[in-house]
Amino acid sequence: MDEPPPSQPDASEQSPDAPPIDRPIVIAANRLPVMRTDDHGWTPSPGGLVRALYPMLRESGGTWVGWTGDPDDAADPFTVDGVDLHPVAVTADEIELYYEGFSNDALWPLYHDALRESTYSIEQWDAYRAVNERFAITLANIAPENSVVWIHDYQLQLVPGVLREQRPDLTIGFFLHIPFPPVELFTRLPWRTEIIRGLLGCDLVGFQRPTGAANFVAAAHQLLDAEHADDSVFYDGREVQAGVFPISIDVAEVEAMAAGRATRRQVSQIRARLGDPEVVMLGVDRLDYTKGIGLRLKAFAKLLEDGRLDPAHNVMVQVATPTREAVEAYQDERAEIERLVGEINGRFSSIGLPVVHYLYQTLPYDDLVALYRAGDVMLVTPFRDGMNLVAKEYAAAHIDGDGVLVLSEFAGAADELTDAVLVNPHDDRALQDAIVEAVEMHRHERRERMAGLRDQIRKSDVQGWAHRFLAALDAAGTRS
């Protein structure tokens, strides 16, 4: 009897390092995926996106284009750990205008539901356009013929359109890591049409949530009278797809780190230093006004004041990672958070045992994983977030199957992590009730919910996310 032919491995059995397409891949992002070391060399940056894309680029012989992070740095192309890196120079003035200005003082608040008034400056817009054109020219010069170019995030929204004009042979994709706003908000932007036209240079535009994709399609139709059908926009004789690709984390890496002996020892030490409380509540955020840290602290203070939580048994740890420290709105946010922490500790702490432990610093990833494991209740309460990977990291770290996640329904993660305690952070009473529900939740329900969260995050890790996007981009480029 003849032997049956060997079965072919499916995508899930392929090496996670192997790219899902057989064409050269070029990545473009505001920053290169490396940071300087003490000996003036380079090492890959921490972060899920770098961990997902770096091995894939190494495998495919691809290139990453971006800024080194230093002003006026006209560095030559270089290679780190087998990946070719092509710097794009950004001047000190452009950092102030393009990055701190237009990207983070105009687009960021607007795309997050206008939580702060945006600044619309023609000087900032000119710098944004100039840097985007520089990125596009660099990509046009280095991308191999018929290759795939994957552009990332809101700082580079004009790049696809400029690149398309210069290199029509390329397959161009874009992924927006933050929300895309409703049309009625987006149209406040004086250069709204230019942004949409830039994104329509793509074959595929990816979003974290279905609402983002729908908002983009609606904006293209309203502003450029582009025809559309389902998730496709037809513009300038081309089809542009709007897809939904919720980003994830390296689940296996977090679980392995959480299971390590050093982490277990560190968890015990953390809880001892906190005074061995019954419940450790935890917040881990960049110090950004979109994250809702202030409302979270106010809700905690109100629960202590009303006696619904006992400061002798419940403590909060809030990690606030410094970010955009030169931007005035972030300076104001830091001052307000630190005022609230001082006020709460002044009222409710006992000698040697503060009720809020506040860290304004960037912690190593292994320290964060230990904190996740030490936290009984994780508070992820942004006003608006593209995804929020902290929520997923918390679930991945809880290999013990316990712990409760309180999650804003306005975070992209809420679409997937439905076993969290979902809450509207704008409703102060609802937020207080959600915290109490999490603190008082019966062990059986806690474990049942955590099992649901962990099952969900295992369905899709960050490597799978990258593979799905690139496979969809390859298919979209073929159709175009």
Query: Residue 265 and residue 269: Cα distance in Å, rounded?
Result: 6
Q: E strand or H helix at 21, and its extent?
A: none
SS3 content of the chain, % helix, strand, coil (to 5): 45, 20, 35
Tokens read off for 174: 């874009």
Q: Which of 454, 417, 422, 453 is nearest to 437 (CA)?
A: 422
Residue 218 token pair: 């609606």
Identify the active-site residue in 113, 126, 177, 231. Answer: 177
| Gap between the Cα atoms of 330 and 360, Å rounded | 13
What six digits make up the tokens of 80?
Answer: 């780190």
Instruction: Give the separation between CA 270 and CA 259, rounded to whole angstroms.
Output: 16
Question: What are the backbone angles phi and psi of residue 238, rounded to the nearest 5°?
Answer: -130, 160
Helix axes 389-397, 251-259, angle to 10 degrees: 40
> Which residues on adjacent β-strands are paired with residue 359?
319
Residue 86 corresponds to which tokens in the numbers above?
């092509």
Q: Which tokens sit at 160? A: 């696809």
Q: Which helix (H) or strand (E) holds 279?
A: strand 279-286
Is residue 177 flagged as an active site residue? yes
271 to each of 275, 315, 323, 365, 399, how far by Cα in Å? 7, 10, 28, 18, 17
385 is catalytic: yes
Q: How far is CA 24 from CA 62, 128, 199, 414, 470, in A?
A: 6, 28, 22, 35, 11
Region for residue 146 given its phi and psi (left: phi exceeds 0; alpha: psi -120 to 50; beta: otherwise): left
Residue tagged active-site, from 153, 285, 288, 385: 385
Task: Tell me which residues are annotated as active site.
Answer: 177, 385
